[in-house]
Amino acid sequence: MTQFGSGVTVPVTADDSGRSWGFTASAFCSVALDPPLVLVCPARSAESYNAFVNSRRFAIHILGSDQSDVAMRFAEKRTDKFEEGRWRQAADGLPALDGALARVSCVTHAVHDGGDHAILIGRVVHAEVDEAAGAPLLYFRRRFLDPVAS
Ligand SMILES: Cc1cc2nc3c(=O)[nH]c(=O)nc-3n(C[C@H](O)[C@H](O)[C@H](O)COP(=O)(O)O)c2cc1C
C-alpha cells in the first residue's frame, strides 16, 4: 500500500457534548455520484473513532501542498489539535480549515465493518472549493510530497 500515492485529508466531526474531533486520513475516496457519496475509514484504535461512527454529520478537508504541518498535527494523539491553524466554524456547525483545497460537508449515510477500521460513508450535502489554493498534498512511500516542488 505504500506504493499507492494518495491525497491527504482531515475529516472532522463533533460529539454530543460539542467537542471537535479530527484525524489525518488517506483512506478517502469518492463512492457515487447519485446520490453523491464519499467514504473515509477511521481506525478502531483512533481516539476519534467513536465520535465519527456515532456522528450524524462530518466534514472532510482535502489538504493543499503547504499543509503538511496540519497533516502531521492531526496524525498525532493530542487534545489540542484545533488550537493552532486557520480554523473557524462552518455553517454545518463543524470546524472548517481555511486554505484547504476543498471541504466536503456530509451527513452520515452508512457505517460498515472494515475490520480494524470502519467504512464511514457520507452523503455530500455541501462542498466548497478554494480555486485560489494550489497543488494537493500527496502521500507516497510514507512521505509527504509537494507535487510542485518535487
Ligand atoms: C498520511 C496519513 C494518512 C493516514 N490515514 C489514516 C486513515 O485513513 N485512517 C486512519 O484511521 N488513520 C489514518 N492515519 C493515522 C491517524 O491520522 C492517526 O492514527 C491519528 O492519531 C488518529 O487520531 P486520533 O487517535 O486522535 O483520533 C493516517 C496518518 C497519516 C500520517
- What DSSP letter does each residue of 85-118 carry, written as one string? SSEEE-TTSSEEETT-SEEEEEEEEEEEEETTEE
* Residue 141, C-alpha cell as written in the block: 512511500
Q: What residues contact residue 104 under an 8 Å CB cut-off, 6+ apart?
A: 38, 59, 60, 62, 122, 124, 126, 127
Atom of ligand 1 nearest to the CA of 21: 27
Distance 23 CA to ligand 1 centre (A): 5
Residue 11, ligand 1, Cβ within 6 A: no
Give the pLDDT of residue 133. Answer: 85
The CA R_g of the chain, rounded to the nearest whole Å, is 14
Q: What is the mean pLDDT of each run of 10 residues along the chain (150 residues)?
A: 96 97 98 98 98 97 96 97 96 97 98 98 97 92 83
Domain boundaries of the chain, sorted by first residue = 7-145
Residue range 7-145, CATH number = 2.30.110.10
